[in-house]
Amino acid sequence: MTQHSINLGIMLNIAVCIKEIPEEIRVNKKTYTLIREGIKGVINPCDKNAIELSVTLKEKHGGKVTLISMGPQNVEKTLIHGLAMGADQAVFICDKAFAGADTLATAFTLVTAIKKLGHFQLILCGKASADSGTQHIGPQIANFLGITQVTYAVGLAVENNKVRVKRQLMDEYETVEVEFPVLISVVKGMNEPRIPSYVDIYEASKKDFFRWSINDLGLKEDQVGLTGSPTKISKILPPETIRQCKMLQGTLEEICNDLAQILKT
């Protein structure tokens, strides 16, 4: 506990929900599904910002950071990366029964793990995953837990047992003040995630790492995975890109104006 945290009387117990995504989004044009095989997994970019935020808060106020992730076997590496960034422990939710989960079944499973872990003042997650981008998980977790949620966070300060959050809206910023417990989803680029050192990587492997199956969470198969998911994905299609060359004519000013107009639209 730092001197600062003693003064404030805060010891933040923080959970960070993270997701591993494929480094490159490729779609199988025959089966209309995402290709994951042979593509390297990385931490979802804004989840990395959430980890950075959690570790910064812990360093300032004291406390403990727990990473939680659900996914296939190879996600272990992503969690260890997060531990190397400074988190204290990791929970890896892995079971064949969880495969094919939609956002609701995923949030439900994550919330079951969060409840099993105990009480958190702060739950952080990224705004959205770069592969599916639904932005559902954060709000769904908050809803299941019945706690306040603040989305699109670009800045955050903890003062007098309250959290002041700067939100990024379409055309403006909004600052809100909320009480614990709260779920906050963060925007990519809100901070600069640290790069762990060589020593941090190997120290991370010594930290507490829990693997939880469907039985460990006390769940039934019809509550999770594909069978527990009301959403059925019929097709995934990549956005169509068309290459088109257009030569702009006129004076320099006219060309610049035309170009600006094209970029705007």
Among the residue ranges 92-100, 102-110, 152-160, 189-197, the one whose residues contact another protein (CB under 8 A): 189-197
Q: Which of 31, 175, 197, 257 binds another protein (CB under 8 A)?
A: 197
179 vs 44, 52, 165, 249, CA distance in Å?
27, 21, 11, 58
- The number of beta carbons lying within 10 Å of the beta carbon of residue 132 is 18
- Structure-block tokens of residue 191: 């901070």
Q: Which of 9, 118, 172, 198 binds another protein (CB under 8 A)?
A: 198
Contact 172, 32 (CB under 8 A): no
Binding of residue 94 to another protein (CB under 8 A): no
Binding of residue 195 to another protein (CB under 8 A): yes
**β-pair type (162-168, 148-159):** antiparallel
Q: Judge residue 236's burial from the number of C-beta atoms within 10 Å of its C-beta, 0-12 exposed, 13-18 middle, 19 or more buried.
A: middle
Q: Which of 2, 205, 213, 231 binds another protein (CB under 8 A)?
A: 205
Q: Which of 243, 244, 252, 261 binds another protein (CB under 8 A)?
A: 243
Which of 93/217 has CB closer to another protein? 93
Contact 263, 139 (CB under 8 A): no
Q: Which of 8, 34, 35, 42 binds another protein (CB under 8 A)?
A: 42
Size of the site for another protein (CB under 8 A): 16
Which of 159/203 has CB closer to another protein? 203
Give the Cα separation of 60 and 63 in Å (integer). 9
- In the complex, least distance from residue 195 CB atom to another protein, rounded to whole angstroms: 5
166 vs 120, 174, 183, 254, CA distance in Å?
21, 6, 14, 39
Binding of residue 173 to another protein (CB under 8 A): no
Nearest of 177, 185, 111, 176 to residue 143 by alpha carbon: 111
All residues at 6 or more sequence positions from 149 whose CB lies less than 8 Å from its CB, including other chains? 138, 139, 142, 143, 182, 183, 184, 185
Binding of residue 81 to another protein (CB under 8 A): yes
Which of 24/177 has CB closer to another protein? 24
Of 59-78, binders to another protein (CB under 8 A) are 76-77
- In the complex, least distance from residue 189 CB atom to another protein, rounded to whole angstroms: 14
Binding of residue 202 to another protein (CB under 8 A): yes
- List residues near another protein by CB under 8 A: 42, 76-77, 80-81, 84, 195-199, 201-202, 204-205, 243
